[in-house]
Structure 1
Amino acid sequence: MSFKNKAELKEVQEKDLKLILDWRNQEWIRDCMYNREVISMEQHLKWFEKLQKSETSISRIFYYGGIPYGILNVNDIDKVNKRCEWGFYIGSEDALRGMGTILGFTSLNYIFNHIPVRKICAEVIGSNKKSISFHRKMGFVQEGLLRKQIVRDGLDVDIVLYGMFKEEWSKKSARIQMKIEGRYV
């Protein structure tokens, strides 16, 4: 059985909110975010309420083999220019090796096949070497660098900008799928 049959993205439901908040408030997740503060349940509920009404944002929980492991956030969906921004993370600390790659593959397929976009953009904190490596591995191209864009712990931090077009993903996805099937499943 292909990993693609085990991987799925499900709409965020109210019953999922505690799990997502627990994931998001883990220090190692917060460290990769613009906002590193612990989020309250009240703030989280406001996010969910706004998400439900939004025409430019989508969130999905990533399941593998029926177990929730992470989340996909698609924001700033621009129907005119056919582009969006994405963010994601594996929240489960006991996720199997390669689960982030499977989440990325599943998410990119979902975005390009279910949202009318031609381009996905990403902003990565310059100190997040794991995410930088991930975006390159998935086929994103670095499009820019926002030098000293944010201040963290009194230090100026760069933001790395990435982009990928639908036709680029079409060319790279089969190779990435083969790597996943050869390494992780």
Structure 2
Amino acid sequence: MFTYKIDDEISLKLVDRNDAEDIFQLTVKSRDYLKEWLPWPTYIREVSDTKKFIENSMQNYVDNKSLVTAIIFKGKVAGIASFNSFDWSSRIGQIGYFLGEEFQGHGIMTKVVRALMDIGFKEFRLNKIEIRAATENVKSRKIPERLGFTEEGTLRQVQWLYDHFVDHVVYGMLKDEWVDLN
């Protein structure tokens, strides 16, 4: 099983069936907060919905299509961080993440994304890592900006969010631009 220790308080672990209840409860507690920028919280109504997500994530990991990890902070599931997809022919990975509302403000996500960059460039030998965020999602955009990603452009009306379309900013980091901080 995939695990990655970031520091004494934060680690990543491949999601598995045992995480279903914790991830579901985190989603329920943070539903309104997450819905501001993500469409899927509306569809997670029962633990079985989270179990389906986990099953798909585990199969995609086996098929080398993605890597979905639970963020563990002080022993609790605090969020999800993942390589949502890989383009192996071009060696590009796309990172996505969310953090429960109660875990905001501890610098967790910056450390987590830096760890995913380490994994992506060192272990997966990616040439490029991308992060996309809604143009108005300032908190999410601060992560790649803080880590030195380049703002590459804006995808117009790329996501339907309940009753309107939102634009996404695309950030990219190339392997030869990456500074290994470990």
CA distance in 1, matches of 2:155, 2:54: 29
After superposition, the Cα gap between the structure-2 partners of 1:73 and 1:30, relative to the gap in structure 1 and judged at 3 Å, is farther
Say if 2:14 is the partner of 1:11: yes
Equivalent residues of 2:6, 2:12 under 8 A apart: no
CA distance in 2, matches of 1:153, 1:11: 30
1:52 alignment partner in structure 2: 58
TM-superposed deviation, 1:39: 0.9
Runs of 4+ in 1 over 3 A off after TM superposition: 64-68, 150-156
TM-score, normalization: structure 1?
0.78
Say if 2:32 is the partner of 1:32: no
SS at match of 2:94: strand
Query: What does 1:1-185 align with in structure 2 at a 5 Å threshold?
Result: 4-6=6-8, 7-25=10-28, 26=30, 27-40=32-45, 41-54=47-60, 55=63, 56-91=65-100, 93-94=102-103, 97-152=106-161, 154-170=163-179, 173-174=180-181
Identity %: 23
CA distance in 2, matches of 1:18, 1:45: 8
CA distance in 2, matches of 1:161, 1:44: 28
Count the aligned residue pairs: 171
Aligned Cα root-mean-square deviation (Å): 2.5
CA distance in 2, matches of 1:141, 1:94: 27
TM-score, normalization: structure 2?
0.79
Unaligned 5+ segments in structure 2 are: none
SS at match of 2:82: strand
TM-superposed deviation, 1:104: 2.1
After superposition, the Cα gap between the structure-2 partners of 1:16 and 1:159, relative to the gap in structure 1 and judged at 3 Å, is same
CA distance in 2, matches of 1:161, 1:141: 8
